[in-house]
Amino acid sequence: VVSDCGQYMAAEHCYHSHNVMVPLVLFLAAALALWVYFQTHRPKNFPPGPPPIPVLGNLLELHLENPIADLERLAKRYGNVYSILLGTRRAVVINGVGALKEALVNKSADFSDRREDLFVRRAAHPKAHAPGVVLSPYSPGWKEHRRFILATLRNFGLGKQSMEQRILAETHRVVKLLQQSDGKPVDPQSIFHHTSSNIICQILFAKQFDSEDEFMKFFTSFFRETSKIINGPWGMLYDSIPSVRYLPLPFNKAFHLFKMSHERYLEKFIENKKTRVPGKPRHFIDAYLDELEKKKRGNTESLLSEDQLRAVLLDLHFAGTDTTANTVLSGLLYLMKYPHVQELCQQEIDRVLQDKPEVSLEDRVQMPYVQAAIHEIQRTANTVPLSVFHCTTRDTDLLGYSIPKDERIIPNLSSVLNEKGQWKRPDEFYPDNFLNENGEFVKPEAFMPFSTGPRVCLGEGLARMELFIILVTLLRRFRFIWPEDAGEPDLTPVFGVTQTPKPYRLRAQIRSSLK
């Protein structure tokens, strides 16, 4: 009896505590389920993707340092349009030339926006009325600036000889440096970052900077540091899990660095105003201020402003430096790894230029092989693999899937540049990918290292001119050789918003055919 009673008492006691616990547990479970549901819920008919984990989304499925292989696995499983959760942030990845053209070209009005909550946007352009151009929303302000910048680049000589002269002048500094190296191994990294930075600075400030100049030194390390943070796990964390934003984590350093860069531009600005003559633009800043005053006088509605000018300076400087430099660096790496391609280029260059003192852009037409090699360099260098993220302007659909407004869109340029069926040999370094059976240069539709649609790289013309003039000038004077003691060249790039080749050294041997 006693034991029965004891059992009874115990059960009673248990029952009582159940009374309190059960609803509490049920409530918590329901709240959790609801929270998980809203965090991970995909809208109706949304592109498929891997099932996510609360808070982290699919982050555990990715190696943050280099998510390439993991993402490839997902694309294989879910097809050309799939979705992924980066933390609590959802994104739609678009793979392949068909889907990408459909979105960025045919449906460009739906797919050409940028999100305002991106880490880089917050860090680089904290003022909402001055979003720059690269990360600017798809808006009248963006359109006005894009048009103005393209016209100004043209006025300052793009497609004209003056720009060629500037690029040649910069390239000759490289030639001199390489000559001084006397065939001994050199690290080319900072050389080419300095070159591309100076070319864009000539347009922006009409100035060439010495590599020892404080301004140049600041920006060289600024680009490197901030890219590292933006690309790295901390930048991804900032974009993925909003609640960490207020913590004193390493991404704060990027905010600080961007602030310093704005201050540097402001100094140049004030310095420049002292010598400016309205109506006589010497460079981009003057041209912008002229336009600003013209619009003010004419009372024309305009979104030009001095804050916006500084934001645009930063954008052009940033977008024009690492991209071009990293493409040239990949190019030289490939040409050392495949010396027969290098030789074929040199033969064509010698044949076409003969004793002409300098190459000019028009010589391009007579150099189909060099053109093909440079395009193949861009294809394999894959410098901006995931483009700049886009975002939808309104509810739309793609290949039968529904995609809501404000959805992050990742245009996978890498998938197009390597796409099976679009290239003769997608997995090799093979300039014939750009040559037809008559040896003429052809550009397949899938060549889109600059992306496509209304947001296509605004510096494409400049970048292509730089790549041609720099590479032809260097190949004409030097044979590039991989140092004997350096092992095998490693072509695997370092992943990032802009990919770089792994650091390497090169030997530049003066070619006997040129004095």
CB of 456 to ligand HEM, least distance (A): 6
List binding-site positions for heme: 457
CB of 73 to ligand NAG, least distance (A): 8
- Residues ≥6 apart with Cβ < 8 Å to 70: 61, 62, 63
For 150, phi then psi, to 5°, come to -60, -45
Residue whose token pair is 């003057």 = 286
Indicate the SS3 state at residue 144: helix
Are the CB atoms for 393 and 109 separated by under 8 Å?
Answer: yes
Q: Decide whether 93 or 474 has the Cβ nearer to ligand NAG.
A: 93
CA dihedral 17, 18, 21, 26 (to 10 degrees): -170
* 319 contact, one of ligand HEM, ligand NAG, none, CB 5-8 Å limit per kind: ligand HEM
Q: Decide whether 96 or 368 has the Cβ nearer to ligand NAG.
A: 96
For 410, phi then psi, to 5°, come to -105, 105
* 449 contact, one of ligand NAG, ligand HEM, none, CB 5-8 Å limit per kind: ligand HEM
CB of 321 to ligand NAG, least distance (A): 25
CA distances to 152, 205, 432, 510 from 341, rounded to whole Å, are: 37, 38, 10, 18
Q: Decide whether 450 or 480 has the Cβ nearer to ligand HEM.
A: 450
For 362, phi then psi, to 5°, come to -70, -20
Contact status: 382 vs ligand NAG (CB under 6 A): no
* 455 contact, one of ligand HEM, ligand NAG, none, CB 5-8 Å limit per kind: ligand HEM
Total chain residues near ligand NAG (CB under 6 A): 13
DSSP H stretches of helix in 105-209: 108-111, 119-124, 140-155, 161-181, 189-205
* 450 contact, one of ligand HEM, ligand NAG, none, CB 5-8 Å limit per kind: ligand HEM
Contact status: 412 vs ligand NAG (CB under 6 A): yes
Where is 508: in which H helix or E strand? strand 507-510
Contact status: 494 vs ligand NAG (CB under 6 A): no
Binding test (CB under 6 A) with ligand NAG, winner from 36, 68, 292, 352: 68
CB atoms within 10 A of CB 147: 10
Binding mask 92-131 for ligand NAG (x = CB under 6 A): -x-x------x---x-------------------------
CB of 140 to ligand HEM, least distance (A): 13
* 500 contact, one of ligand HEM, ligand NAG, none, CB 5-8 Å limit per kind: none
State CA 185 to chain mean position distance.
29
Contact status: 321 vs ligand NAG (CB under 6 A): no
DSSP structural state of residue 331: H
For 215, the token pair is 């301004």
Q: Decide whether 327 or 414 has the Cβ nearer to ligand NAG.
A: 414
* 315 contact, one of ligand NAG, ligand HEM, none, CB 5-8 Å limit per kind: ligand HEM
- Residue with the CB atom nearest ligand HEM in the bound state: 459
For 470, the token pair is 């720099």
Contacts with ligand HEM, residue ranges (CB under 6 A): 133-134, 146, 200, 315-316, 319-320, 323-324, 327, 383-384, 387-388, 411, 449-451, 455-459, 462-463
Judged by CB under 6 A, which stretch of 165-173, 183-191, 407-415, 421-429 contacts ligand NAG? 407-415
CA dist., res. 289 & res. 279, Å (int): 9
Dihedral sign computed on CA atoms, order 123, 449, 94, 75: negative
CB of 117 to ligand NAG, least distance (A): 19
Are the CB atoms for 98 and 446 separated by under 8 Å?
Answer: no
CA distances to 300, 311, 355, 410, 451 from 388, rounded to whole Å, are: 31, 17, 43, 8, 9
Contact status: 72 vs ligand NAG (CB under 6 A): yes
DSSP structural state of residue 468: H
Judged by CB under 6 A, which stretch of 41-49, 66-74, 184-192, 323-331 contacts ligand NAG? 66-74
Q: Which residues are 156's β-sheet partners?
A: none
Are the CB atoms for 223 and 316 separated by under 8 Å?
Answer: no
CB of 335 to ligand HEM, least distance (A): 16
E-assigned strands of 321-362? none
Binding test (CB under 6 A) with ligand NAG, winner from 36, 55, 56, 75: 75
List binding-site positions: 457
Are the CB atoms for 214 and 235 separated by under 8 Å?
Answer: no
Binding test (CB under 6 A) with ligand NAG, winner from 414, 433, 451, 452: 414
**Among 347, 343, 324, 355, residue whose Cα is nearest residue 468:** 324
Q: Decide whether 368 or 385 has the Cβ nearer to ligand HEM.
A: 385
Binding test (CB under 6 A) with ligand NAG, winner from 39, 272, 418, 422: 418
* 406 contact, one of ligand NAG, ligand HEM, none, CB 5-8 Å limit per kind: none
Indicate the SS3 state at residue 410: strand
Question: Contact residues for ligand NAG (CB under 6 A)?
Answer: 68, 71-72, 75, 93, 95, 102, 106, 410, 412, 414-415, 418
